[in-house]
Structure formats: C-alpha cells, structure tokens
Amino acid sequence: MALAHQGGDKVYAFTRTRDANTVLVMVNFGDAAVHVTYSAMPVPGDYLDWYAKEKVTVGAAGTLDVPAHGWRVLVKK
C-alpha cells in the first residue's frame, strides 16, 4: 500500500492479511491530526474500526483521518 500524508515521517501504516482476515493499522506519532491519502490497498472493502466499533468502507485508493498521537485499527473478516 502506498501512502501520502501531512504527517511526514510521523505516521506509520501497514496491512497484514491471513486467510480471509485483513488488518489495516495507522499510527500517528505527531502533535497534529493527519489526513492520510493511500493507494494500492491490497484488500479493499468494508472494515470494522476496532475501537469505535463502526463500519468503515476502504476503497482501493482513498483517504483516512488519524488523530494526533492516535491510531486507527481497521479489521476485515
């Protein structure tokens, strides 16, 4: 997955897939919220925000917000 964002080197993101399960993790180590633009998402579709317990649709390319000193953990089962 390719990422572009306002956070410079303060955002770390990755995906992991095993069988039918995929997790997308984005961590913002910076002092400001960031708007992350991504492309080439390997497994697009409907995910569950693990902490907010809300459905999030992740396309093959798009954007996600990550709060300051925060994270997003999205899970697809």
Ramachandran angles phi, psi of 28, nearest 5°: -110, 110
Cβ neighbours of 13 (radius 10 Å): 19
For the chain, give every domain's residue range. Answer: 2-76
Domain 2-76's class? mainly beta
Tell me the per-residue pLDDT of 25-37, one tens digit each, with 9 for 90 and over.
999 999 999 988 8
Read off the pTM. 0.88
* Helix, strand or coil, per DSSP, at residue 10: helix
Tell me the per-residue pLDDT of 29-77, one tens digit each, with 9 for 90 and over.
999 999 888 888 999 999 999 999 999 999 999 999 999 999 999 999 9
